[in-house]
Amino acid sequence: MPDTAATAPPADERLARVNLVATLVGRPDIGAVFGAIAVFFLFAYTASSVGWLSDLGIWSQWLDQSAQYGIVAVPVALLMIGGEFDLSAGVMVGSSGLLLGLLTTRADWNIWPAIAVVLVFGAAIGFVNGYTVVKTKLPSFIVTLGTFFILQGVNAGGTLKITGTVSIQGIDAASGFNSARPFFASTVWSPYDFKVNIIWWFGLTVAGAWLLARTRFGNWIYAVGGDATAARNIGVPVARTKIALFMMTSTTSALLGIITAIGLRGIQANEGVGREFIFIIAAVVGGCLLTGGFGSVIGSAFGAAILGMASIGIIVSQWDSNWVYAFQGVILVLAVMLNAAIRARAAGARAR
Protein backbone atom coordinates (compact mmCIF):
# COMPACT_ATOMS: atom_id res chain seq x y z
CA MET A 1 0.00 0.00 0.00
CA PRO A 2 1.49 3.37 -0.94
CA ASP A 3 0.07 4.59 2.31
CA THR A 4 1.08 6.28 5.55
CA ALA A 5 4.83 5.66 5.82
CA ALA A 6 6.58 8.33 3.79
CA THR A 7 4.13 11.16 3.25
CA ALA A 8 4.99 13.93 5.70
CA PRO A 9 7.21 16.46 3.93
CA PRO A 10 7.82 18.85 6.84
CA ALA A 11 9.41 16.41 9.26
CA ASP A 12 8.06 16.80 12.76
CA GLU A 13 10.43 15.77 15.49
CA ARG A 14 7.57 14.15 17.38
CA LEU A 15 7.05 11.71 14.51
CA ALA A 16 10.40 10.04 15.00
CA ARG A 17 8.93 7.40 17.28
CA VAL A 18 6.57 6.12 14.60
CA ASN A 19 9.09 4.10 12.64
CA LEU A 20 8.52 1.47 9.98
CA VAL A 21 7.85 -1.29 12.49
CA ALA A 22 5.21 0.74 14.28
CA THR A 23 3.58 1.63 10.96
CA LEU A 24 3.50 -2.03 9.93
CA VAL A 25 2.24 -3.13 13.30
CA GLY A 26 -0.53 -0.53 13.08
CA ARG A 27 -1.95 -2.18 9.99
CA PRO A 28 -4.99 -4.34 10.77
CA ASP A 29 -3.99 -7.08 8.33
CA ILE A 30 -0.40 -7.67 9.38
CA GLY A 31 -1.29 -10.55 11.69
CA ALA A 32 -3.07 -12.42 8.89
CA VAL A 33 -0.12 -11.97 6.54
CA PHE A 34 2.32 -13.48 9.02
CA GLY A 35 -0.24 -16.13 9.97
CA ALA A 36 -0.61 -17.19 6.35
CA ILE A 37 3.15 -17.44 5.95
CA ALA A 38 3.40 -19.51 9.14
CA VAL A 39 0.60 -21.88 8.12
CA PHE A 40 2.07 -22.23 4.66
CA PHE A 41 5.42 -23.34 6.05
CA LEU A 42 3.77 -25.56 8.65
CA PHE A 43 2.21 -27.61 5.86
CA ALA A 44 5.36 -27.38 3.77
CA TYR A 45 6.88 -29.35 6.62
CA THR A 46 4.06 -31.77 7.49
CA ALA A 47 3.07 -32.39 3.86
CA SER A 48 6.54 -32.30 2.36
CA SER A 49 6.26 -35.91 1.16
CA VAL A 50 3.39 -35.02 -1.21
CA GLY A 51 5.12 -31.88 -2.42
CA TRP A 52 3.25 -29.03 -0.69
CA LEU A 53 5.82 -26.57 -2.02
CA SER A 54 6.52 -28.00 -5.44
CA ASP A 55 3.27 -29.61 -6.63
CA LEU A 56 1.23 -26.89 -8.32
CA GLY A 57 -1.71 -29.29 -8.33
CA ILE A 58 -1.85 -28.88 -4.53
CA TRP A 59 -1.55 -25.11 -4.90
CA SER A 60 -4.50 -25.28 -7.25
CA GLN A 61 -6.53 -27.18 -4.65
CA TRP A 62 -5.91 -24.89 -1.71
CA LEU A 63 -6.30 -21.77 -3.83
CA ASP A 64 -9.68 -23.09 -5.04
CA GLN A 65 -10.73 -23.73 -1.45
CA SER A 66 -9.45 -20.32 -0.35
CA ALA A 67 -11.29 -18.63 -3.21
CA GLN A 68 -14.56 -20.27 -2.14
CA TYR A 69 -14.05 -18.75 1.31
CA GLY A 70 -12.44 -15.50 0.18
CA ILE A 71 -14.98 -14.37 -2.41
CA VAL A 72 -17.70 -13.87 0.19
CA ALA A 73 -15.21 -12.91 2.92
CA VAL A 74 -14.64 -9.63 1.02
CA PRO A 75 -18.14 -8.20 1.51
CA VAL A 76 -18.43 -9.89 4.92
CA ALA A 77 -15.31 -7.97 5.99
CA LEU A 78 -16.75 -4.71 4.64
CA LEU A 79 -20.03 -5.42 6.43
CA MET A 80 -18.19 -6.15 9.66
CA ILE A 81 -16.18 -2.93 9.38
CA GLY A 82 -19.60 -1.31 8.88
CA GLY A 83 -20.57 -2.75 12.25
CA GLU A 84 -22.89 -5.59 11.18
CA PHE A 85 -22.96 -9.36 10.66
CA ASP A 86 -24.64 -11.51 8.06
CA LEU A 87 -25.23 -15.04 9.29
CA SER A 88 -27.28 -15.81 6.17
CA ALA A 89 -24.27 -15.37 3.87
CA GLY A 90 -23.59 -19.12 3.87
CA VAL A 91 -27.07 -20.45 3.28
CA MET A 92 -27.56 -17.87 0.53
CA VAL A 93 -24.96 -19.76 -1.52
CA GLY A 94 -27.29 -22.75 -1.47
CA SER A 95 -30.48 -20.75 -2.05
CA SER A 96 -28.97 -19.02 -5.06
CA GLY A 97 -27.62 -22.21 -6.59
CA LEU A 98 -30.98 -23.90 -6.09
CA LEU A 99 -32.82 -20.98 -7.66
CA LEU A 100 -30.46 -21.17 -10.66
CA GLY A 101 -31.15 -24.89 -10.85
CA LEU A 102 -34.92 -24.45 -10.73
CA LEU A 103 -34.95 -21.73 -13.38
CA THR A 104 -32.77 -23.70 -15.77
CA THR A 105 -34.01 -27.26 -15.21
CA ARG A 106 -37.67 -26.74 -14.26
CA ALA A 107 -38.56 -23.54 -16.11
CA ASP A 108 -36.12 -24.25 -18.96
CA TRP A 109 -34.65 -20.76 -18.93
CA ASN A 110 -31.49 -19.87 -20.75
CA ILE A 111 -28.68 -19.72 -18.18
CA TRP A 112 -27.84 -16.03 -18.65
CA PRO A 113 -31.23 -14.54 -17.72
CA ALA A 114 -31.34 -17.11 -14.90
CA ILE A 115 -27.98 -15.80 -13.62
CA ALA A 116 -29.30 -12.25 -13.78
CA VAL A 117 -32.41 -13.19 -11.81
CA VAL A 118 -30.34 -15.03 -9.18
CA LEU A 119 -28.14 -11.97 -8.67
CA VAL A 120 -31.23 -9.77 -8.31
CA PHE A 121 -32.61 -12.31 -5.84
CA GLY A 122 -29.34 -12.03 -3.89
CA ALA A 123 -29.60 -8.26 -3.82
CA ALA A 124 -33.25 -8.50 -2.71
CA ILE A 125 -32.46 -10.78 0.24
CA GLY A 126 -29.68 -8.39 1.25
CA PHE A 127 -32.10 -5.50 1.05
CA VAL A 128 -34.57 -7.31 3.29
CA ASN A 129 -31.79 -8.07 5.80
CA GLY A 130 -30.48 -4.51 5.75
CA TYR A 131 -33.86 -2.83 5.80
CA THR A 132 -35.01 -4.97 8.72
CA VAL A 133 -31.84 -4.24 10.69
CA VAL A 134 -32.02 -0.50 10.02
CA LYS A 135 -35.76 -0.18 10.70
CA THR A 136 -36.13 -2.45 13.71
CA LYS A 137 -32.72 -1.51 15.17
CA LEU A 138 -32.41 -5.15 16.22
CA PRO A 139 -28.90 -6.63 16.21
CA SER A 140 -28.04 -7.93 12.75
CA PHE A 141 -26.84 -11.09 14.44
CA ILE A 142 -30.48 -11.91 15.30
CA VAL A 143 -32.10 -10.66 12.10
CA THR A 144 -29.78 -12.57 9.79
CA LEU A 145 -29.91 -15.64 12.02
CA GLY A 146 -33.64 -15.56 11.30
CA THR A 147 -32.99 -15.23 7.57
CA PHE A 148 -30.50 -18.09 7.82
CA PHE A 149 -33.01 -20.48 9.36
CA ILE A 150 -35.85 -19.43 7.09
CA LEU A 151 -33.74 -19.98 3.98
CA GLN A 152 -32.33 -23.24 5.31
CA GLY A 153 -35.88 -24.52 5.77
CA VAL A 154 -37.00 -23.29 2.38
CA ASN A 155 -33.94 -24.77 0.67
CA ALA A 156 -34.46 -28.23 2.14
CA GLY A 157 -38.26 -28.30 2.10
CA GLY A 158 -38.65 -26.62 -1.27
CA THR A 159 -36.09 -28.84 -2.99
CA LEU A 160 -37.66 -31.99 -1.62
CA LYS A 161 -41.14 -30.89 -2.62
CA ILE A 162 -40.18 -29.92 -6.16
CA THR A 163 -37.65 -32.60 -7.06
CA GLY A 164 -38.46 -35.34 -4.59
CA THR A 165 -34.74 -35.47 -3.71
CA VAL A 166 -32.25 -33.34 -1.76
CA SER A 167 -30.54 -31.84 -4.77
CA ILE A 168 -31.10 -30.36 -8.19
CA GLN A 169 -29.10 -31.93 -10.98
CA GLY A 170 -28.68 -31.40 -14.70
CA ILE A 171 -27.96 -27.69 -14.82
CA ASP A 172 -25.52 -28.42 -17.67
CA ALA A 173 -28.48 -29.23 -19.89
CA ALA A 174 -29.55 -25.59 -19.83
CA SER A 175 -29.19 -23.58 -23.00
CA GLY A 176 -26.24 -21.23 -22.82
CA PHE A 177 -24.49 -23.39 -20.21
CA ASN A 178 -21.39 -23.81 -22.32
CA SER A 179 -21.08 -20.06 -22.87
CA ALA A 180 -21.41 -19.38 -19.13
CA ARG A 181 -19.03 -22.06 -17.92
CA PRO A 182 -15.80 -20.29 -18.97
CA PHE A 183 -16.70 -17.31 -16.80
CA PHE A 184 -17.73 -19.17 -13.66
CA ALA A 185 -16.24 -22.64 -13.58
CA SER A 186 -13.48 -23.13 -16.10
CA THR A 187 -9.90 -24.02 -15.30
CA VAL A 188 -6.61 -22.70 -16.65
CA TRP A 189 -3.10 -24.11 -16.94
CA SER A 190 -3.98 -27.63 -17.98
CA PRO A 191 -2.14 -30.20 -15.84
CA TYR A 192 -2.75 -28.24 -12.62
CA ASP A 193 -6.23 -26.93 -13.42
CA PHE A 194 -6.35 -23.65 -11.51
CA LYS A 195 -10.01 -22.68 -11.13
CA VAL A 196 -11.33 -19.42 -12.49
CA ASN A 197 -12.91 -18.62 -9.10
CA ILE A 198 -9.37 -17.72 -7.97
CA ILE A 199 -9.50 -14.80 -10.41
CA TRP A 200 -12.90 -13.77 -9.03
CA TRP A 201 -11.42 -13.89 -5.55
CA PHE A 202 -8.41 -11.70 -6.42
CA GLY A 203 -10.56 -9.33 -8.47
CA LEU A 204 -13.13 -8.89 -5.71
CA THR A 205 -10.42 -8.46 -3.08
CA VAL A 206 -8.73 -5.69 -5.07
CA ALA A 207 -12.08 -4.04 -5.80
CA GLY A 208 -13.14 -4.29 -2.15
CA ALA A 209 -9.86 -2.92 -0.85
CA TRP A 210 -10.05 -0.02 -3.29
CA LEU A 211 -13.65 0.67 -2.34
CA LEU A 212 -12.76 0.79 1.34
CA ALA A 213 -9.59 2.85 1.12
CA ARG A 214 -10.20 5.19 -1.76
CA THR A 215 -13.89 6.03 -2.15
CA ARG A 216 -16.49 8.10 -0.29
CA PHE A 217 -18.49 4.95 0.33
CA GLY A 218 -15.42 3.41 1.96
CA ASN A 219 -15.14 6.37 4.31
CA TRP A 220 -18.81 5.91 5.20
CA ILE A 221 -18.26 2.20 5.91
CA TYR A 222 -15.62 3.05 8.52
CA ALA A 223 -17.87 5.74 9.95
CA VAL A 224 -21.10 3.76 10.32
CA GLY A 225 -19.17 0.95 11.98
CA GLY A 226 -17.04 3.20 14.15
CA ASP A 227 -19.80 5.41 15.49
CA ALA A 228 -23.17 5.39 13.73
CA THR A 229 -24.56 8.30 15.76
CA ALA A 230 -21.61 10.55 15.01
CA ALA A 231 -21.80 9.55 11.35
CA ARG A 232 -25.47 10.45 11.20
CA ASN A 233 -24.88 13.79 12.90
CA ILE A 234 -22.25 14.75 10.36
CA GLY A 235 -24.50 13.81 7.45
CA VAL A 236 -23.48 10.29 6.42
CA PRO A 237 -26.47 8.34 5.06
CA VAL A 238 -26.14 5.60 7.67
CA ALA A 239 -29.17 3.52 6.70
CA ARG A 240 -28.32 3.58 3.00
CA THR A 241 -24.72 2.60 3.66
CA LYS A 242 -25.68 -0.35 5.84
CA ILE A 243 -28.37 -1.59 3.46
CA ALA A 244 -25.89 -1.37 0.57
CA LEU A 245 -23.40 -3.46 2.56
CA PHE A 246 -26.00 -6.17 3.25
CA MET A 247 -26.94 -6.16 -0.44
CA MET A 248 -23.30 -6.51 -1.49
CA THR A 249 -22.88 -9.44 0.89
CA SER A 250 -25.85 -11.49 -0.24
CA THR A 251 -25.29 -10.66 -3.90
CA THR A 252 -21.74 -11.96 -3.58
CA SER A 253 -23.10 -15.09 -1.89
CA ALA A 254 -25.39 -15.46 -4.89
CA LEU A 255 -22.35 -15.17 -7.17
CA LEU A 256 -20.66 -17.98 -5.24
CA GLY A 257 -23.89 -19.99 -5.55
CA ILE A 258 -23.78 -19.54 -9.32
CA ILE A 259 -20.09 -20.50 -9.46
CA THR A 260 -20.78 -23.59 -7.33
CA ALA A 261 -23.88 -24.72 -9.23
CA ILE A 262 -22.24 -24.31 -12.62
CA GLY A 263 -19.03 -25.95 -11.44
CA LEU A 264 -20.81 -29.01 -10.03
CA ARG A 265 -23.54 -28.95 -12.73
CA GLY A 266 -26.02 -29.28 -9.89
CA ILE A 267 -26.44 -28.33 -6.26
CA GLN A 268 -27.26 -29.90 -2.90
CA ALA A 269 -30.08 -28.45 -0.81
CA ASN A 270 -27.76 -27.94 2.18
CA GLU A 271 -24.99 -26.26 0.19
CA GLY A 272 -23.31 -23.37 2.00
CA VAL A 273 -24.75 -24.05 5.46
CA GLY A 274 -21.95 -23.49 7.98
CA ARG A 275 -19.97 -21.33 5.58
CA GLU A 276 -21.20 -18.12 7.21
CA PHE A 277 -18.87 -18.75 10.13
CA ILE A 278 -15.94 -19.48 7.80
CA PHE A 279 -16.48 -16.10 6.12
CA ILE A 280 -16.63 -14.37 9.48
CA ILE A 281 -13.52 -16.19 10.71
CA ALA A 282 -11.65 -15.13 7.55
CA ALA A 283 -12.65 -11.51 8.13
CA VAL A 284 -11.75 -11.60 11.83
CA VAL A 285 -8.44 -13.34 11.21
CA GLY A 286 -7.86 -10.62 8.62
CA GLY A 287 -8.07 -7.99 11.34
CA CYS A 288 -11.72 -6.91 11.37
CA LEU A 289 -12.88 -5.72 14.75
CA LEU A 290 -16.09 -7.48 15.87
CA THR A 291 -17.44 -4.15 17.08
CA GLY A 292 -16.91 -2.50 13.70
CA GLY A 293 -15.02 0.51 12.45
CA PHE A 294 -11.70 -1.22 11.92
CA GLY A 295 -10.46 -3.91 9.58
CA SER A 296 -9.07 -4.84 6.22
CA VAL A 297 -10.24 -6.46 2.99
CA ILE A 298 -6.72 -7.56 2.07
CA GLY A 299 -6.55 -9.16 5.50
CA SER A 300 -9.72 -11.14 4.80
CA ALA A 301 -8.02 -12.59 1.70
CA PHE A 302 -5.11 -13.76 3.83
CA GLY A 303 -7.59 -15.07 6.40
CA ALA A 304 -9.34 -17.04 3.65
CA ALA A 305 -5.97 -18.33 2.45
CA ILE A 306 -5.14 -19.57 5.96
CA LEU A 307 -8.46 -21.43 6.17
CA GLY A 308 -8.14 -22.77 2.63
CA MET A 309 -4.62 -24.02 3.24
CA ALA A 310 -5.74 -25.64 6.48
CA SER A 311 -8.61 -27.58 4.93
CA ILE A 312 -6.39 -28.97 2.15
CA GLY A 313 -3.17 -29.17 4.18
CA ILE A 314 -4.71 -31.30 6.92
CA ILE A 315 -5.92 -33.79 4.32
CA VAL A 316 -2.68 -34.01 2.35
CA SER A 317 -0.75 -34.32 5.61
CA GLN A 318 -2.92 -37.42 6.06
CA TRP A 319 -4.48 -36.31 9.30
CA ASP A 320 -8.10 -37.02 10.05
CA SER A 321 -10.11 -34.32 8.26
CA ASN A 322 -12.24 -33.80 11.38
CA TRP A 323 -9.31 -31.86 12.79
CA VAL A 324 -10.00 -29.06 10.29
CA TYR A 325 -12.62 -27.60 12.62
CA ALA A 326 -10.31 -27.69 15.61
CA PHE A 327 -7.63 -26.03 13.54
CA GLN A 328 -10.02 -23.29 12.43
CA GLY A 329 -11.03 -22.70 16.02
CA VAL A 330 -7.42 -22.40 17.17
CA ILE A 331 -6.61 -20.04 14.30
CA LEU A 332 -9.60 -17.87 15.18
CA VAL A 333 -8.73 -17.54 18.85
CA LEU A 334 -5.02 -16.96 18.16
CA ALA A 335 -5.82 -14.37 15.52
CA VAL A 336 -8.19 -12.45 17.75
CA MET A 337 -5.68 -12.39 20.59
CA LEU A 338 -2.87 -11.38 18.26
CA ASN A 339 -4.94 -8.64 16.65
CA ALA A 340 -6.01 -7.29 20.01
CA ALA A 341 -2.38 -7.14 21.14
CA ILE A 342 -1.29 -5.48 17.89
CA ARG A 343 -4.04 -2.89 18.13
CA ALA A 344 -3.23 -2.11 21.74
CA ARG A 345 0.44 -1.67 20.87
CA ALA A 346 -0.36 0.48 17.85
CA ALA A 347 -2.66 2.69 19.89
CA GLY A 348 -0.05 2.87 22.61
CA ALA A 349 2.67 3.89 20.17
CA ARG A 350 0.44 6.60 18.76
CA ALA A 351 -1.44 7.92 21.72
CA ARG A 352 -0.13 10.99 23.50
List contacts with other proteins (CB under 8 A). Answer: 4, 7-8, 12, 14-15, 18, 214-216, 218-220, 222-223, 226-227, 229-231, 233-236, 289, 293-294, 347, 350-352
> For residues 29 and 257, what is the distance between their CA atoms, to the nearest angstrom?
27
Complex with other proteins: residue 5 or 38, whichever CB lies closer: 5
Complex with other proteins: residue 245 or 312, whichever CB lies closer: 245
Q: Quickly list DSSP for 26-68.
A: TSTTHHHHHHHHHHHHHHHHHTGGGTTTT-HHHHHHHHHHHHH
* Distance in Å, CB of 219 to other proteins, minimum: 6
* Distance in Å, CB of 137 to other proteins, minimum: 18
Complex with other proteins: residue 98 or 223, whichever CB lies closer: 223
> For residues 159 and 165, what is the distance between their CA atoms, to the nearest angstrom?
7
Q: Are strands 167-169 and 187-188 parallel, antiparallel or unpaired?
A: unpaired
* Distance in Å, CB of 79 to other proteins, minimum: 16
* Distance in Å, CB of 293 to other proteins, minimum: 4
Burial class (CB in 10 A: 0-12, 13-18, 19+), 151: buried
Complex with other proteins: residue 103 or 223, whichever CB lies closer: 223
Which residue type does 256 have? Answer: L
Residue 258: CB atoms within 10 A of its CB come to: 27
* Distance in Å, CB of 4 to other proteins, minimum: 5
Complex with other proteins: residue 135 or 350, whichever CB lies closer: 350
Residue 336: CB atoms within 10 A of its CB come to: 17
> For residues 37 and 116, what is the distance between their CA atoms, to the nearest angstrom?
38
Determine the Cα angle at 51 with ends 47 and 52, to 5°. Answer: 60
Nearest to 69 by CA among 307, 273, 345, 258: 307
Nearest to 34 by CA among 348, 346, 331: 331
Residue 112: CB atoms within 10 A of its CB come to: 14
* Distance in Å, CB of 251 to other proteins, minimum: 17
* Distance in Å, CB of 263 to other proteins, minimum: 29
Complex with other proteins: residue 75 or 295, whichever CB lies closer: 295
Beta carbons of 304 and 70 less than 8 angstroms apart: yes
Complex with other proteins: residue 236 or 281, whichever CB lies closer: 236
Complex with other proteins: residue 16 or 137, whichever CB lies closer: 16
* Distance in Å, CB of 213 to other proteins, minimum: 8
Which residue type does 193 have? Answer: D
